[in-house]
Amino acid sequence: MRERVGIIGVGAMGEALLKGLLPVVSKEMLVVADKAAEKLAKLKTAYQVESQTVSGLVQKAQVIFLAVKPQDLTALLQEMASNLTPSKTIVSVAAGVAIAKIEKELPENVGVIRVMPNTPCLINEGVMAVSAGRHVSADRLELVVSWLQNLGVVRVVPEELLDAVTGLSGSGPAYVYMMIEALADGGVLAGLPRQMALEFAVQTVLGAAKMVQETGEHPAVLREMVTSPGGTTAAGLLHLEQGAFRSLLQKAVTAAAKRSKELGG
């Protein structure tokens, strides 16, 4: 693979992309840019990759990842446009910005891929949904997906599903963090030392998720395996049902998806 790959914006997600690309794209083929000179210098030292201005990067790279905030994207696209040709592909991780809006700022026939990642990509345990614009070739899409797989699970979806993905896997880590915090607090209320309660809560969530992943069983089946008639788990589950736990999580996902759609509109 001799495509040069650029990353504009080297914050947390940009650096995660860089780390994920390094095993499959040689550092000599990578180039990065960021408006924060100090951050760029640190990254260049840490990973031994070339740094450039935005215009210099766009001239050199064939695939260009944009890891900037959504509110900064339009100005960046306008800055890039004069150096873009149809042979180049833009890969945007800016939440809520539609492919059509990105294409509007670019020369005709420049390919655009949109990616919805989540923060566990920072430890290569992420979930990413990918949608491609009409000017992206199947080969280029396959190449980008193969790179992203180093950061976690990748699925190609129609763009209209990205708001739902945002509500579930994009915002979902926050729901899980809150659940871990609450489980640990419950352990403390029941008498456990706080650090032990947090350790047990984290491992319980991790182990339960792996059980679903590795057994292939539906979560309801696994839940029934833990729930003895008249037992401790049944008593705990009753409280969750009385508090509408299941419904609240469903509403959290749909509320976040709705907000994603509003922000992108």
Decide which of 97, 131, 159 is a domain's last residue. Answer: 159
Query: How large is the average pLDDT for residues 135-162?
Result: 95
Residue 107 and residue 45 in one domain = yes
Decide which of 104, 134, 159 is a domain's last residue. Answer: 159
pLDDT of 86 reads 93
Is residue 164 assigned to a domain?
no
Residues whose CB falls within 8 Å of the CB of residue 164, separated by 6 or more in sequence, listed in order: 253, 257
Task: Write out the residue range of the structural domain in which residue 71 sits.
Answer: 5-159
Q: How many helices and strands (H and E) does the chain possess?
A: 12, 8
pLDDT of 40 reads 86
Query: How large is the average pLDDT for residues 192-204?
Result: 98
pLDDT of 35 reads 87
Query: How large is the average pLDDT for residues 167-181?
Result: 96
Query: How large is the average pLDDT for residues 185-213?
Result: 98
Question: Please, which pLDDT band fits residue 265 given cuts at 50, 70 and 90?
Answer: low
pLDDT of 44 reads 82
Domain of residue 251, CATH code? 1.10.3730.10
Share of the chain above pLDDT 70, in %: 99
Query: How large is the average pLDDT for residues 52-66?
Result: 95
Sheet strands (E) in 119-201: 126-132, 152-156
Based on its alpha-carbon atoms, the radius of gyration of the chain, rounded to whole angstroms, reads: 22
Query: How large is the average pLDDT for residues 113-140?
Result: 95
Query: How large is the average pLDDT for residues 172-180?
Result: 97
Measure the CA–CA gap between 164 and 255, rounded to whole angstroms. Answer: 10
Tally of domains within the chain: 2
pLDDT of 36 reads 85
Domain of residue 52, CATH code? 3.40.50.720
Tokens 């026939």 sit on residue? 109
